[in-house]
């Protein structure tokens, strides 16, 4: 039986961060955040990694990220571009309308579909998820005859940024299974209150201990055709919307509602941290230094 595959979403443009987060160096030896995810994935039983990037960052990605992993990590590259998997007429119209960015995280996953022949986890390149999370999802994805999917959820409050709003998939979980996930795009904390502000100005109060998706999912290969169907429907409905994106949490919610898979919630003690804004960087560097000093990670990471 093949070990699970780690799919890393690394094609983002980092508009709020002001640069390419996936190649910003956080460790003392030049490690980027995804280095720690790959390291933890190997400890959790994963066999290889698939990095989804753009062609225009390939050279830098190879030099800054992959060079340290050579000979230590099995990996493949997949590419997400504006025209990848998009009908020519749709692509031409999107370009004419002024679209410049690809179609979101569900689109990114489909860009790597031809490299996935075993159960896989998918996550963001610019987030830190923690060793316990990888151990849990690695064990789950190694179950024989896997049919269910999985999410590693995190408590809402520790995932907020003091610098501004964040997007989170707010989860409803019952009996350790995901019932629904609602993508909220402008969550913040002010005056001791956590809330999301909708596009029409409506404010929704959120409990601090709400479970949220940080885009750490696990799937059997059998779900890929369903993802394709969901993305085809999305393109048919939303291709003319300049900033529309096909989000993994929305796709996962659709999979549940359609009965195509059940999604088990793997609740762990893992901490999450990330860098939505440039000002979040110092806290991430400090925490990685602490974890390294505690012996959770070696330094350099790839010896």
| 3-class secondary-structure state, position 46 | coil
In order of start, what are the domains of the chain with their CATH numbers?
A: 5-153+213-293 (3.90.550.10)
pLDDT tens digits for range 154-195: 999 999 988 899 999 999 999 999 999 998 999 999 999 999
Asked whether 85 and 111 are in contact (CB, 8 A), the reply is yes
pLDDT tens digits for range 56-100: 999 999 999 999 999 999 999 999 999 999 999 999 999 999 998
For residue 58, what are the CA distances in angstroms to 55, 71, 96, 203?
5, 19, 26, 41
Q: Which helix (H) or strand (E) holds 91?
A: helix 88-97
Asked whether 14 and 4 are in contact (CB, 8 A), the reply is no
DSSP 137-156: HHHHHTSTT---EEEEEEES
């Amino acid at each position: 039986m093949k070990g699970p595959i780690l799919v890393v979403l690394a094609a983002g443009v980092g508009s709020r961060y002001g640069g390419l987060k996936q190649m910003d160096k956080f460790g003392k030896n030049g490690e980027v955040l995804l280095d720690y995810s790959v390291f933890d994935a190997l400890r959790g039983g994963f066999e290889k990694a698939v990095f989804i990037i753009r062609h225009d960052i390939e050279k830098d990605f190879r030099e800054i990220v992959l060079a340290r992993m050579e000979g230590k990590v099995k990996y493949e590259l997949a590419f997400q571009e504006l025209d990848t998997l998009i009908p020519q007429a749709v692509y031409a119209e999107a370009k004419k309308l002024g679209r410049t960015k690809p179609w979101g995280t569900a689109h990114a996953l489909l860009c790597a579909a031809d490299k996935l022949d075993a159960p896989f986890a998918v996550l963001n390149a610019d987030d830190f998820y923690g060793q316990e999370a990888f151990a849990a999802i690695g064990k789950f994805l190694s179950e024989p005859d896997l049919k269910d999917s999985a999410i590693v959820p995190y408590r809402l409050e520790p995932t907020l940024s003091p610098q501004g709003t964040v997007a989170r998939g707010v989860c409803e979980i019952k009996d350790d299974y995901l019932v629904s996930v609602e993508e909220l795009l402008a969550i913040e904390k002010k005056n001791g209150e956590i809330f999301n502000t909708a596009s029409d100005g409506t404010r929704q109060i959120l409990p601090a201990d709400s479970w949220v998706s940080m885009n750490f999912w696990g799937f059997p290969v059998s779900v890929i055709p369903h993802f394709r169907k969901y993305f085809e429907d999305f393109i048919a409905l939303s291709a003319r919307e300049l900033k529309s994106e096909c989000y993994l949490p929305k796709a996962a919610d659709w999979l549940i509602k359609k009965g195509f898979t059940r999604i088990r919630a793997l609740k762990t003690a893992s901490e999450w941290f990330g860098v939505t804004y440039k000002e979040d960087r110092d806290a991430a560097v400090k925490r990685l230094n602490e974890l390294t000093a505690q012996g959770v990670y070696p330094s350099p990471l790839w010896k």
